């Protein structure tokens, strides 16, 4: 897929149209406020009297029930959690969305895996900012934007792509870069990145490193700093300038260790397992298992999550982070005063 042309998309295709944002979490809040500040007509669809309803009203936005928000909208942005979306579509969207309106997602999971089969008389589009909601909002406020992926799954009106680009412009993405994709590519690469590298891969690598050092007799506090805390320094360098920048700022000793030991940890067998993860995503196995897990009440999810929260690295990390005032605005200077003593 290619990036957009040099012409920067505008909000023109959505001017005079009503946009309903369903959900007011990290992305929902950012999108709604950015669209509103771009001069578009925005309502937020939320359950009455909920905590997010109050927050949206405090932010100056008009709040309706999801069904009422959908009823008069020309574009509906579905920004609720993935597993909530099928019921939301069935109960609030499908009976109320008008012909020719656009249904927009920020992640293609439910459309790609056919959990949502949208009516044929509406446009189905995707705009996915490549950053968290807080960043989407912050970059917009300072006159910049976060790059966005955009895609068209269903073009009932002949104007679906125009609407997607206009929405991306409204949230600030067109100021940075728009990249054309499709629902399949966005969904499968996003899930793979989360599972193999960003969340699953990184957390398991950190935990294994911590356990290796502690089992060898090193202090847990020092192990924490070496494999968890300092990871941010490396990730920031990756973020700013890729592997090239990381290599510029670490020592030659660290570089040499990278070259000779990195491939011993992440080797051909690791890549083969990554391919197996990708296959599970591509053939729908992950989606099937995750949907079944959610419908069963999340028994394994809760068990796995609690195991992570109870791991010694979290116990040690919580104590150490409490002594880092720069991470906690409420911390007192005295909180970091007393030195830690090595266990005897």
Is 252 annotated as a binding-site member? no
pTM greater than the 0.85 cutoff: yes
Q: Does the pLDDT of residue 5 top 80, yes or no? A: no
Whether the CB-CB separation of 277 and 196 falls below 8 Å is answered with yes
270 is in an annotated binding site: no
The annotation status of 335 as a binding-site residue, yes or no, is no
> pLDDT tens digit string along 7-20?
789 999 999 999 99
Identify the pLDDT of residue 71.
Answer: 97
DSSP-based three-state secondary structure for 83: helix
Whether the pLDDT of residue 332 is over 60: the answer is no
- The response to whether 24 counts as a known ligand-binding position is yes
pLDDT of residue 104: 98
Query: Percent of the chain, pLDDT > 90?
Result: 90
3 known ligand binder: no
Q: What is the pLDDT of residue 182?
A: 98
What is the spatial distance between Cα 283 and Cα 191, in angstroms, rounded to a whole number? 13
Please give the Cα distance from 225 to 227 (Å, whole number).
6
User: How confident is the model over 201-237, as pLDDT tens digits?
Assistant: 999 999 999 999 999 999 999 999 999 999 999 999 9
Set 31, 107, 112, 153: catalytic member = 107
pLDDT band, very low/low/confident/very high, at 331 (cuts 50, 70, 90): very low
For the chain, what is the total number of helices (H) and then of strands (E)?
A: 16, 8
Q: Annotated catalytic, 107?
A: yes
| pLDDT at site 335 | 45
Which runs of consecutive H residues, i.e. helices, occur in 5-99?
26-37, 51-58, 66-71, 85-88
267 is in an annotated binding site: no
pLDDT tens digits along 235-292: 999 999 999 999 999 999 999 999 999 999 999 999 999 999 999 999 999 999 999 9
Other beta carbons less than 10 A from residue 277's beta carbon? 17
Mean pLDDT of 79-89: 97
- Confirm whether residue 344 is marked as ligand binding: no
Give the chain's domains with CATH numbers.
12-181 (3.40.50.720), 193-327 (no CATH)
Straight-line distance from the first to the last Cα atom of the chain, in angstroms, rounded to the nearest whole number:
59
* 200-215 helix and 312-321 helix, angle to the nearest 10 degrees: 90
Q: Roughly what angle, to the nearest 10 degrees, separates helices 26-37 and 133-141?
A: 20
Q: What is the pLDDT of residues 58-75, one digit of tens each?
A: 999 999 999 999 999 999
């Amino acid at each position: 897929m290619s990036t957009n042309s040099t012409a920067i998309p505008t909000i023109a295709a959505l001017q005079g149209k009503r946009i309903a944002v369903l959900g007011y979490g990290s992305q929902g809040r950012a999108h709604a406020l950015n669209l509103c500040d771009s001069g578009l007509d925005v309502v937020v669809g939320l359950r009455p009297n909920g905590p997010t309803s109050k927050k949206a009203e405090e932010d100056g936005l008009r709040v309706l029930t999801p069904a009422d928000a959908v009823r008069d909208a020309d574009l509906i942005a579905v920004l609720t959690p993935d597993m909530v979306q099928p019921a939301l579509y069935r109960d609030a969207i499908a009976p109320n969305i008008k012909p020719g309106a656009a249904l927009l997602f920020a992640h293609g999971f439910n459309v790609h895996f056919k959990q949502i089969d949208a009516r044929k008389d509406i446009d189905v589009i995707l705009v996915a900012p490549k950053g968290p909601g807080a960043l989407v909002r912050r970059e917009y406020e300072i006159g910049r934007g976060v790059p966005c992926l955009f895609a068209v799954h269903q073009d009932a009106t002949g104007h679906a792509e125009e609407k997607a680009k206009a929405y991306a412009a409204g949230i600030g993405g067109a100021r940075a870069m728009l990249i054309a994709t499709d629902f399949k590519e966005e969904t499968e690469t996003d899930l793979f990145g989360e599972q193999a590298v960003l969340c699953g891969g990184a957390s398991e690598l950190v935990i294994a490193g911590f356990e290796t050092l502690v089992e060898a007799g090193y202090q847990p506090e020092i192990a924490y700093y070496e494999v968890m805390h300092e990871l941010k320094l490396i990730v920031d360098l990756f973020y700013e300038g890729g592997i090239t920048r990381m290599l510029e700022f670490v020592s030659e000793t660290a570089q040499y260790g990278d070259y000779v030991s990195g491939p011993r940890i992440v080797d051909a067998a690791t890549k083969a397992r990554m391919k197996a993860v990708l296959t599970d995503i591509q053939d729908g196995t992950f989606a099937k298992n995750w949907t079944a897990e959610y419908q069963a009440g999340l028994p394994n999810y809760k068990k796995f999550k609690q195991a992570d929260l109870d791991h010694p690295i979290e116990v040690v990390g919580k104590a150490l982070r409490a002594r880092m005032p720069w991470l906690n605005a409420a911390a007192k200077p005295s909180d970091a005063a007393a030195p830690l003593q090595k266990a005897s």
